[in-house]
Structure 1
Amino acid sequence: MTETLEVGDLDLVAALQIAPRAGVRVLADVLGVSTGTISRRMSRLREQHAMRVVGQVPWWIAGDATPHHVWISTLPGRTGPVAEAVAELDEAQFVAATTGRADVYCILHPPRRADATALLVSTLPSIPGVDRTHSEVGLRRYRSGSSWRLIRLGAEQEEALGEHRHGPPPDGPCRLTDEEGGIARVLQRNGRASTAEIARELGMSASTAYRLTQSLLDRGLVQPRVEIEPALLGYPLEAVISLATSAGSMQEIATALSAHPSARYVTTVAGTSSVIHHGLFRHEDDLADFLTRDLGRHSGVTRFEISVVLRVLMRYWTPRGRR
């Protein structure tokens, strides 16, 4: 994909990344255009470029299972079918065909910890075309896709939009009630769903839907985020870099990498790697600079492997590549 969005569309995406649930009037005022222009651009982004606003629920809230990062080597000529089969799994959070460390990289998140064994030992290896797999368990997330954004807007615009942001996710365990869980599932599919739409779908009163929705958002139990292909935003190069580090430097390195402009997703893992950095880059030179300059300054990095993304089939449980 080599096309990029128009300037006005890029501005709208940048605004939505800061305040994904901001109203059309707020977006129009901040960007200095009419509400009709915002509505038309929003529709075009959805229909022509598959932009979605989804609700992210922190995994330590959704259940007792942790995400598993899996690299799959396939038999010759089977990468496409294997990636498509993995993307069909209910547990598939992120799936991409890659080159480098493996042919397919994915993040699989079973609903319960007990389900992980069958998923990794039986379900995944039994997919036709899978040669071998390697999995690592996610430990602590330092950066997520909801945090990465375009830097396009002025300070005053960002400040105005910041008033419509919601709370950060809680650090500790937290469980949702049945009603909250229902609202969270609606927001996972449509992060801009109105409380009236939520009330109708779940059969609850508008006042209850409003109160519980605001509570979920303010407590950071649901985090709306924009999903759109990075290439459309001027970042056609996407790479998953798995790093082995010394034990004492793992947290320091993960924290430092999470602040890097390229960081879309950073997590520590248990396996042959210690840290995974999922980065977005404008050009191969930027990736080369990151590897030699940014990683090079960390003496605790002992080894790294790279998977360059060729085609994304799933992002945060949202199918990609189909319009």
Structure 2
Amino acid sequence: MDDLERRLLHALKIDGRVSFSRLAKVLGVSDQTVARRYRKLQTEVSLRVIARSDARLLGTYEWFVRMKGGSVAVSRTASLLAQRPETSWVSLVSGGLEVVCLVRSTDARGEQQALLRHLGEPPQAGQVAAYDVLHTFLGERRLWPGLKSDLDDEQIKQLTAGLPEPVGAEDLRITDSDKALIEALGEDGRTPLQELALVTDSAENTVRRRLEHLRACGALYFDLDVDYHLLGFDALALLWLAVRPQCLVPVAEAVARHPEVSFVAATTGGANLLASVICRDNSHLFDYLAHQVGEMEGVLYVEVAPILHIVKRVVAPAGVTV
């Protein structure tokens, strides 16, 4: 990528629905140039702008499923999980001998048990476990440092000026139309208002107002989905850390500040902290583990699960059931 394309990615991270004309003005290029570079990034790094929703505000639960076994069973399970509407980020890890995915549901206990029973049936039989997400310290709202560009303060100010003013979410009520809106934007965050109006069976002005309200409440925000391997980052991994309880918060907050890290959450289970890391190569990953994670007080052990392939990236919609 050249500097313009990095600025474009940075700008879209700030406001995923910003118009091409506004982007062109901020970046100092033509509308046609912005559109052409956007299409180029779609092709070369699998760029997608997608909507994400706050599970807490939507009244849903998040948990990770891990299944270990033979390569054939794991591959079949990955395909099975990828087909389910409540799953996202289905990944083959550890040389293809394990599948990990994030599940969002409305009933933590009942739906979790139903899914685990289903996965435990042949031919998916293997070691299956689920870990509840207790608290997210770092999610997708923050710009991952690897995508940062040289946008100056004035350009960032122009982009943020178009965002709705934050408001409290105390009285937020999610309707069926909201769920349909969030699901459609989870597939393509830049879906035009006309199409969103059809999906939600609402007038365009109604969709616009509701979209602005959901963003203002923090229930809905936009993120970039890119293939980091195509950006030159070849060592992606999940880290399952076991941390002393009294050190959990300071360790999690410290890990969340590391430039290699894109996600950090406290979970149930023997390993009580999960981090997703993005490194240039294995040497970079080793240095990170040895000189940053390995020297942190309170970390008892770290299990490294290299990500071999991401089978499904689509974000789970709101209000799904198993």
Letter in 1 for 2:189: G
TM (norm. structure 2) is 0.87
Map of 1:160 onto structure 2: 158
Tell me the C-alpha RMSD between the 2 structures.
2.5
Preserved contact between residue 241 and residue 305 of structure 1 (Cα < 8 Å): yes
Contact 1:94 1:314 in 2 (8 A): yes
Give the AA of the match of 1:41: R
Judge conservation of contact 1:71–1:101 (CA < 8 Å) in 2. no
Residue matched to 2:131: 136
Contact 2:63–2:104 (CA under 8 A) maintained in structure 1: yes
Which of 210, 222, 225 is the aligned partner of 1:224? 222
The match for 2:319 is: none
Tell me whether 1:109 sits opposite 2:104 in the alignment: yes
Amino acid at match of 1:187: L
Letter aligned with residue 126 of structure 1: E
Aligned residue in 2 for 1:43: 39
Contact 2:186–2:314 under 8 Å retained in 1: no
Q: Which amino acid aligns with 2:234?
A: P
Question: Aligned equivalents of 1:30 and 1:116: distance in 2?
Answer: 46
Q: Which amino acid aligns with 1:116?
A: Q
Tell me the distance in 2 between the aligned counterparts of 1:104 and 1:95.
7
Question: Aligned in 2, Cα 1:305/1:172: closer, same or farther, shift over 3 Å?
Answer: farther
Moved over 4 A (4+): 165-174
Which string of whole-angstrom CA distances, capped at 9 and with x for unpartnered residues, describes residues 127-180 of structure 1? 524421232111111112342431112323333323344577978795413333
In the superposition, relative to structure 1, how do residues 117 and 78 fare at CA in structure 2: closer, same or farther (>3 Å)? closer
Identity %, equivalent residues: 23
Who is 2:58 aligned against? 62
Give me the whole-angstrom Cα distance separating, in 2, the residues matched to 1:67 and 1:302. 25
| Residue of 107, 120, 125 corresponding to 2:120 | 125
Equivalent in the alignment of 2:249: 251
Q: Distance in 1 between matches of 2:310 and 2:126?
A: 20
SS of the residue corresponding to residue 41 of structure 1 reads helix
Q: Which runs of 5+ in 2 are unaligned?
A: 317-322
Q: Deviations over 1:242-293 (max 9, x none)?
A: 1111111111111111121122111000111111011111122221222122
Partner of residue 53 from structure 1, selected from 49, 56, 61? 49
Q: What's 2:265 paired with?
A: 267
Task: Give the TM-score normalised by structure 1.
Answer: 0.87
Partner of 2:302: 304
Match of 1:18 among 14, 27, 33: 14
Unaligned ranges ≥5, structure 1: 319-323
How far 1:45 moved relative to its partner? 2.9
Structure-2 separation of matches of 1:281 and 1:171: 36
Q: Contact 2:252–2:273 at 8 Å: present in 1 too?
A: yes
| 1:102, distance to aligned residue in structure 2 (A) | 5.3
